[in-house]
């Protein structure tokens, strides 16, 4: 077997095409769009290259047939926020061979070690964590757009190599095709909060894109900065680009904002599940396929929607404002009966507040992914993410007392 770092166009195409053969007989796997996967490794389209670097490899057998692939990257912002320099590996795919899997892990580890990394997280994305992030270990079903799907035997290879679970990621599902979408008690609380003086609710409108992006950035950055120093602030230009890319299929009434005396305090972003359409395309997007794409949209092929992003300003947490936003969605689902399922993904095991909200709306845990960490320098103690958060919180409190 031989590991080859990718440098040529032919190898880049093979990196994209190998999973198509690997999952050919899997009824649940959805082939990502070729252009979307390739964009991750294009400095002109991936802002992460502005503060990091990435490379990727193919693994060949003795006959020259591709039997695996992997990528490795360093995001300086994420790396410096950790207790030790930490890189990432992802886009891992391999035939059922422990030896082959370990050769791919070795390639990523050695590349990261040469660049001073002390730990390796995987499988993760080179960029935002709402795509290509985590190892699926429970809930092998058709994935929502952006959510990873992988072979069941991968977990064994990660664990045998020495990866340990850094945090768990849960995806909750809820049927929204019935008339009584949410539990009665939840609905009563939501209605009470939504009528309180000062609160108002608005759904996203493309013609007011700049306003809503500004509101989203304000809420998100205030919300997630309290979790850990490695959070990456939302980039308005990246958001603008994302909404532009999604313009053809997004539903404005699935994106809601809450305001208190006109101050943005919470938001919830749902997108129709694009995977229900692109599963027909095998990664391609030709002119004819674009015509078919529009037809699928008009005929409501997308019956599932996925929660992509949410935030509640710290000053308004524990007020129940989230339930009031779900009430707005309830009215949308009542009118748009072609939506049958809601996927709330993903939420980390370190975020019990959001987990309790998902359970309160009657959603059930359908899938579990793992973000795993391998300690390249085994003299550095391993800690789970939630334990790091607790320790960091204690350190901050100690400084305040001083």
- What's the pLDDT tens digit per position in 200-255? 999 999 999 999 999 999 998 888 766 555 566 778 888 888 888 888 899 999 99
**pLDDT (mean) for 119-134:** 94
pLDDT value for 401? 59
Are 239 and 221 spatial neighbours (Cβ–Cβ below 8 Å)? no
Could you tell me which of 52, 40, 44 has the C-alpha nearest to residue 16? Answer: 40
What is the H or E stretch that residue 138 is in?
strand 135-138
Tens-place pLDDT, residues 141-155:
999 999 999 999 999
The span from the CA of 146 to the CA of 152, in Å, is 18
Q: Is 171 helix (H, G, I), strand (E, B) or coil?
A: strand
Per the prediction, the chain carries an average pLDDT of 92
The span from the CA of 215 to the CA of 265, in Å, is 8
With a CB cutoff of 8 Å and minimum separation 6, the contacts of 282 are: 20, 31
Tens-place pLDDT, residues 28-78:
999 999 998 999 999 999 989 999 999 999 999 999 999 999 999 999 999
Tens-place pLDDT, residues 95-113:
999 999 999 999 999 999 9
CB 265: neighbour CB atoms within 10 A? 25
pLDDT above 70 for 275: yes
The span from the CA of 53 to the CA of 74, in Å, is 5
What percent of the chain has pLDDT above 70? 95
Tell me the pTM.
Answer: 0.91
Tens-place pLDDT, residues 318-355:
888 999 999 999 999 999 999 999 999 899 999 998 89
3-state secondary structure 243-286: HHHCCCCCCHHHEEEEEECCEEEEEEEEEECCHHHHCCCCCCCC
Q: How many CA atoms lie within 13 A of 373 on its CB side?
A: 23
């Amino acid at each position: 077997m031989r590991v080859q770092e990718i440098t040529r166009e032919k190898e880049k195409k093979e990196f994209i095409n190998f999973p198509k053969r690997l999952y050919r007989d899997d009824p649940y796997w959805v082939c990502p769009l070729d252009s979307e996967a390739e964009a991750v490794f294009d400095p002109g389209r991936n802002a992460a290259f502005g503060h990091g670097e990435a490379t990727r490899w193919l693994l060949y057998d003795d006959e020259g047939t591709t039997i695996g692939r992997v990528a490795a990257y360093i995001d300086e912002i994420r790396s410096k926020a950790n207790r030790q320099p930490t890189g990432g590996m992802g886009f891992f795919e391999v035939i059922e061979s422990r030896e082959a899997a370990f050769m791919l892990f070795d390639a990523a580890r050695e590349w990261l070690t040469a660049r001073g990394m002390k730990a390796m997280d995987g499988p993760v994305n080179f960029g935002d964590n709402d795509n290509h992030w985590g190892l699926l270990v429970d809930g092998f079903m058709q994935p929502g757009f952006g959510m990873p799907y992988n072979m069941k035997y991968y977990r064994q290879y990660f664990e045998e190599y020495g990866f340990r679970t850094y945090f768990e990621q849960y995806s909750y599902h809820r049927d929204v095709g019935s008339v009584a979408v949410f539990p009665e008690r939840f609905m009563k609380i939501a209605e009470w909060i939504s009528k309180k003086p000062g609160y108002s609710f608005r759904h996203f409108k493309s013609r007011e894109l700049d306003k809503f992006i500004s509101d989203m950035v304000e809420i998100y950055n205030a919300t997630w900065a309290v979790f850990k120093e490695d959070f990456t602030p939302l980039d308005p230009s990246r958001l603008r680009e994302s909404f532009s890319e999604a313009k053809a299929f997004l539903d404005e009434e699935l994106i809601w904002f809450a305001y208190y005396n006109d101050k943005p305090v919470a938001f919830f972003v749902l997108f129709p599940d694009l995977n229900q359409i692109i599963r027909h395309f095998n990664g391609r997007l030709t002119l004819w396929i674009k015509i078919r794409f529009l037809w699928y949209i008009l005929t409501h092929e997308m019956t599932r929607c996925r929660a992509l992003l949410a935030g509640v300003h710290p000053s308004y947490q524990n007020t129940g404002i989230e339930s009031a936003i779900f009430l707005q969605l309830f009215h949308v689902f009542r009118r748009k009966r072609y939506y049958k399922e809601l996927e709330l993904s993903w939420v980390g095991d370190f975020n019990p507040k959001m987990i309790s909200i998902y359970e309160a709306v009657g959603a059930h845990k359908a899938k579990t992914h793992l973000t795993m960490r391998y300690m390249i320098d085994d003299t550095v103690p391993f800690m789970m993410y939630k334990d790091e958060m607790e320790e960091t919180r204690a350190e901050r409190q100690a400084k305040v007392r001083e």
